[in-house]
């Protein structure tokens, strides 16, 4: 175990893109936590004398239609993105792990029912469903996290199920069972811990897609509602003022792009480092 | 498809049985989809009558109750679902809750309008065009970056792939609108036809539609091109490492034949599966780009329906979206069957 862990770290550290991505993720995290320290203005300070100003010395990323500082709003918006990303993925991973474990461990009819349920969920144009549900239950941040979470667990469930199918017949599981361990104990203490690596990779990639989804919802006016700033709803202002204020359309998009890109790079890096098929050469 | 091998007829029989089985399997899936969607939407707090009373604050509680009775909203959800299902079997999605009270199906597929102006057709047309565009661009890119692994081209496409995956489609749309619609002023940025459309000649009309289609199709296929080309690359790489490709090369076949006749077919299988899986995403994405480009398609209608809590309209479009997804999956299966002789034989 420790041996493969060393190989893993060696491989991951060699992947410069993944390390860069990881550093950006870390910086974004720090910015989000210390938003009120790093942001130059109060994000909701309205300044009617400086409406729709292009980037300048006192407002490096310009101001919006109410004279609010775009940089400060983006810094506070990063909190929303991270919070939605992490909580939604947490919910999705939890649901996926439980259903995948039950499905893979018990097999038979319960597996068939869960797999059919997954097929159904994958056939619903989920974006439609998310839109409908959030419009009905109201678009506060908790609802958005929950709805994104409960509509994106299917990949994790499939992954965990596959891991369980391959692990449940292995000697260490058979030994545990022979020693009289309960199902719950076998599932959590023996199989689950050994299938965490791919789940972790998919969670990292999941954060990226949850952030994308939240920004799309906020852009459509169904996500985070102003005056709370989010990258998506600043872009809505960008669309409304597209002919006069390019900075409102450009900067929040760049922020989303860089954030999502970083999570994807980290996820890909982890995946490559964990893939034993790629371990052969040069290690 | 002509099958000259022995047992060809028998195979065709198998294929038909397989297809029939798949078609039959779609029914419970569709049932499940509508069941889940219906319950989620109807159990969510907030009623369509809320919107009516928001618009008309003077509405009395009695009038509200009357309205709810009219729509059957006073009955338990499962009874409502039963009523809904009974009608849907006849493709009747009920009447819209909006002020015009038109049947939902007529809103989605208005037979009074020209085919090209019907909402479902517009969405379908744009999605098919995007799919086509994704295919003709992504497959050659994927092949070239696989056959020239580690080349400059391969590296550029990898960068493109990462950006394509991280780029929010709506933001990309905004940037293109700014560049081509406002600064360069080459393309229209909203609608599906110009104001003077009716006055144009036939070729003028076609050109007008094309100009309106360029940005939406480009935006909705951009992410797909990235994903598909990456996928094509990795499955091509996997295929060309296999023994039968080495054998084909050893036989002295030209590299062209090896790649395009022997390897491509197998590599395409992965793409076909991905195609089936990407249909819901494309359909869902139509809400976003129809909203940005103000295209009067099904996605835009859905957005309006959601905003006004128009249950029948929302359920109708969800069901049609799910049906399109299932048909997409079925087509992917059929394509898979033609590409893979092992499945054909089963």
Residue A112: domain span? 83-224+242-278
Q: Looking at chain B, which residue has its C-alpha nearest residue A251? A: B171
Chain B segment 6-25 residues within 8 A of A by beta carbon are none
Is residue A40, in this structure, part of any structural domain at all? no
Give the number of other CB atoms < 10 A from CB of residue A130.
24
Question: Final residue of a domain: which of B68, B84, B108?
Answer: B108
Chain B segment 58-87 residues within 8 A of A by beta carbon are none
Residues B133 and B85 in one domain: no
Q: What is the pLDDT of residues A170-199, one digit of tens each?
A: 888 888 888 878 888 888 877 888 788 889
Percent of residues in chain A assigned helix, strand, coil, to nearest 5: 75, 0, 25
Q: Is A123 in contact with B322 (CB distance < 8 Å)?
A: yes
The pLDDT score that the predictor gives to residue A34 is 94
- Confidence at B46, pLDDT banded by 50, 70, 90: low
Residue B302 φ then ψ, to 5°: -60, -45
Number of domains in chain A: 1
Is residue B86, in this structure, part of any structural domain at all? yes
* pLDDT of B11 strictly over 80: no
What is the residue-averaged pLDDT of chain A?
88
* pLDDT of B149 strictly over 60: yes
Is residue B346, in this structure, part of any structural domain at all? no
Q: Looking at chain B, which residue has its C-alpha nearest residue A245? A: B178
* Best CA proximity match to B281, nearest among B310, B324, B338: B324
Residues B48 and B135 in one domain: no
Q: What angle is formed at CA A272 by the lines to CA A266 and CA A276, rounded to 5 degrees?
A: 145
Here the ipTM equals 0.87
Is residue A41, in this structure, part of any structural domain at all? no
Is residue B125, in this structure, part of any structural domain at all? yes
* Best mutation target, A128, A246, A256, A271, to test chain B (most B CBs within 10 A): A128
Is residue B249, in this structure, part of any structural domain at all? yes
Is residue B204, in this structure, part of any structural domain at all? yes
Is residue B70, in this structure, part of any structural domain at all? yes
Minimum mean pLDDT range among A189-193, A243-247, B52-56, B150-154? B52-56
Mean pLDDT in residue range B190-196 = 81
Residues B79 and B151 in one domain: no
Mean pLDDT in residue range B275-284 = 81
The pLDDT score that the predictor gives to residue B189 is 82
The pLDDT score that the predictor gives to residue A170 is 82
Q: Which residues of A touch B171 (CB under 8 A)?
A: 215, 235, 249, 252-253, 256-257
* pLDDT of B169 strictly over 80: yes
Residue A51 φ then ψ, to 5°: -85, 135
| Nearest CB to B325 within list A117, A125, A132 | A125
Residues B137 and B238 in one domain: yes
The pLDDT score that the predictor gives to residue A32 is 94
Residue B129: domain span? 115-307
Taking CB atoms and an 8 Å limit, are B33 and A123 in contact across chains?
A: yes
Number of domains in chain B: 2
The pLDDT score that the predictor gives to residue B45 is 65
* pLDDT of B246 strictly over 80: yes
Is residue A147, in this structure, part of any structural domain at all? yes
Residues B89 and B41 in one domain: yes
DSSP string spanning A214-225?
Answer: HHHHHHTTSSSP
Beta bridge partners, B103, equal B95
Size of interface A-B (CB pairs under 8 A): 140
Residues B93 and B161 in one domain: no
Residues B148 and B287 in one domain: yes
* pLDDT of B20 strictly over 80: yes
Residues B14 and B42 in one domain: yes
The pLDDT score that the predictor gives to residue B2 is 44
Residue B103 φ then ψ, to 5°: -60, 140
Residues B85 and B192 in one domain: no
Is residue A176, in this structure, part of any structural domain at all? yes
Q: Which residues of B touch A253 (CB under 8 A)?
A: 168, 171, 174-175
Give the number of other CB atoms < 10 A from CB of residue B195.
7
Is residue A115, in this structure, part of any structural domain at all? yes
Is residue B2, in this structure, part of any structural domain at all? no
Q: What is the pLDDT of residues B79-130, one digit of tens each?
A: 888 888 888 888 788 888 777 778 888 888 888 888 888 889 999 999 989 9
Residues in chain B: 346
The pLDDT score that the predictor gives to residue B174 is 92
The pLDDT score that the predictor gives to residue B307 is 82
d(CA B314, CA A173): 48
* pLDDT of B346 strictly over 50: no
Question: Final residue of a domain: which of B71, B90, B108?
Answer: B108
Q: Which residues of A touch B329 (CB under 8 A)?
A: 123
Using a CB–CB cutoff of 8 Å, tell me whether B302 touches chain A: yes
Residues B173 and B55 in one domain: no
How many angstroms from the chain centroid is the CA of residue A213? 9
Residue A120 φ then ψ, to 5°: -65, -45
Residues B280 and B137 in one domain: yes
- Cβ-count burial B139-174 (b if 16+ within 10 Å, e if not): bebbbbbbbeeeeeebeebeebbbbbbbbbbbbbbb
The pLDDT score that the predictor gives to residue A282 is 41
Is residue B315, in this structure, part of any structural domain at all? no
Which of the residue ranges A5-9, A139-143, B83-87 has the most confident prediction, judged by mean pLDDT? A139-143
Domain CATH number, residue A167: 1.10.3720.10
* pLDDT of A100 strictly over 50: yes
Residues B119 and B62 in one domain: no
The pLDDT score that the predictor gives to residue B1 is 43
* pLDDT of A44 strictly over 80: yes
Q: Which residues of B touch A120 (CB under 8 A)?
A: 29, 32-33, 36
Q: Is A72 in contact with A41 (CB distance < 8 Å)?
A: yes
């Amino acid at each position: 175990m420790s041996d493969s862990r060393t190989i893993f770290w060696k491989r991951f550290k060699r992947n410069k893109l993944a390390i860069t991505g990881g550093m950006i993720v870390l910086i974004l995290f720090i910015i989000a936590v210390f938003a009120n320290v790093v942001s130059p203005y109060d994000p909701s300070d309205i300044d009617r004398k400086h409406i729709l100003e292009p980037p300048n010395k006192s407002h490096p990323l310009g101001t919006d239609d109410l004279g609010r500082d775009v940089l400060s709003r983006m810094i506070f918006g990063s909190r929303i993105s991270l919070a939605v990303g992490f909580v939604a993925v947490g919910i999705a991973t939890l649901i996926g792990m439980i259903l995948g474990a039950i499905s893979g461990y018990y097999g038979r009819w319960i597996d068939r029912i869960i797999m059919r349920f997954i097929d159904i969920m994958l056939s619903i144009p989920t974006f439609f469903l998310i839109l409908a549900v959030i419009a009905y239950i109201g678009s506060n941040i908790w609802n958005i996290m929950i709805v994104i979470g409960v509509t994106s667990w299917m990949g994790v469930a499939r992954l965990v199920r596959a891991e369980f199918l391959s692990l449940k017949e292995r000697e260490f599981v058979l030994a545990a069972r022979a020693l009289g361990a309960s199902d719950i104990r076998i599932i959590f203490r023996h199989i689950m811990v050994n299938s965490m690596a791919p789940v972790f990779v998919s969670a990292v990639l999941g954060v990226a897609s949850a952030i994308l989804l939240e920004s799309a919802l906020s852009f459509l006016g169904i996500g985070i509602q102003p005056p709370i700033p989010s990258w998506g709803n600043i872009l809505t202002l960008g669309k409304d003022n597209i002919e006069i204020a390019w900075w409102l359309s450009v900067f929040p998009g760049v922020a989303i792009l860089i954030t999502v890109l970083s999570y994807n790079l980290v996820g890909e890096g982890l995946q490559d480092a964990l893939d034993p098929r790629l371990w052969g050469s040069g290690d | 498809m002509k099958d000259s091998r022995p047992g060809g007829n028998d195979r065709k029989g198998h294929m038909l049985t397989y297809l029939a089985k798949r078609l039959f399997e779609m029914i419970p899936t569709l049932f499940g989809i509508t069941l889940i969607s219906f319950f989620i939407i109807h159990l969510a707090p907030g009623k369509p009558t809320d919107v009516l009373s928001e618009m008309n604050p003077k509405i009395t509680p009695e009038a509200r109750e009357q309205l709810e009775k009219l729509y059957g909203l006073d009955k338990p959800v499962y009874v409502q679902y039963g009523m809904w299902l009974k009608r849907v079997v006849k493709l009747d999605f009920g009447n819209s809750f909006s002020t015009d009270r038109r049947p939902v199906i007529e809103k989605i597929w208005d037979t009074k309008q020209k085919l090209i102006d019907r909402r479902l057709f517009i969405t379908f047309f744009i999605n098919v065009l995007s799919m086509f565009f994704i295919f003709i661009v992504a497959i050659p890119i994927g092949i070239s970056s696989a056959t020239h692994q580690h080349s400059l081209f391969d590296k550029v496409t990898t960068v493109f792939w990462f950006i394509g995956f991280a780029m929010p489609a709506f933001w990309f749309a905004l940037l293109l609108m700014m560049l081509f619609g406002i600064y360069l002023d080459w393309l229209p940025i909203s609608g599906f036809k110009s104001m003077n459309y009716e006055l144009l000649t036939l070729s003028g009309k076609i050109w007008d539609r094309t100009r309106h289609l360029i940005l939406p199709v480009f935006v909705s296929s951009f992410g797909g091109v990235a994903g598909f080309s990456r996928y094509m690359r990795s499955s091509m790489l996997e295929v060309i490492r296999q023994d039968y490709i080495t054998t084909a090369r050893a036989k002295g076949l030209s590299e062209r034949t090896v790649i395009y006749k022997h390897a491509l077919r197998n590599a395409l299988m992965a793409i076909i599966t991905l195609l089936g899986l990407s249909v819901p995403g494309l359909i869902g994405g139509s809400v976003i780009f129809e909203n940005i480009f103000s295209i009067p398609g099904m996605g835009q209608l859905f957005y309006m329906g959601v905003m006004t809590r128009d249950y029948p309209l929302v359920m109708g479009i969800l069901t049609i979206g799910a049906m399109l997804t299932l048909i997409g999956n079925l087509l992917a299966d059929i394509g898979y069957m033609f590409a893979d002789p092992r499945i054909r034989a089963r």
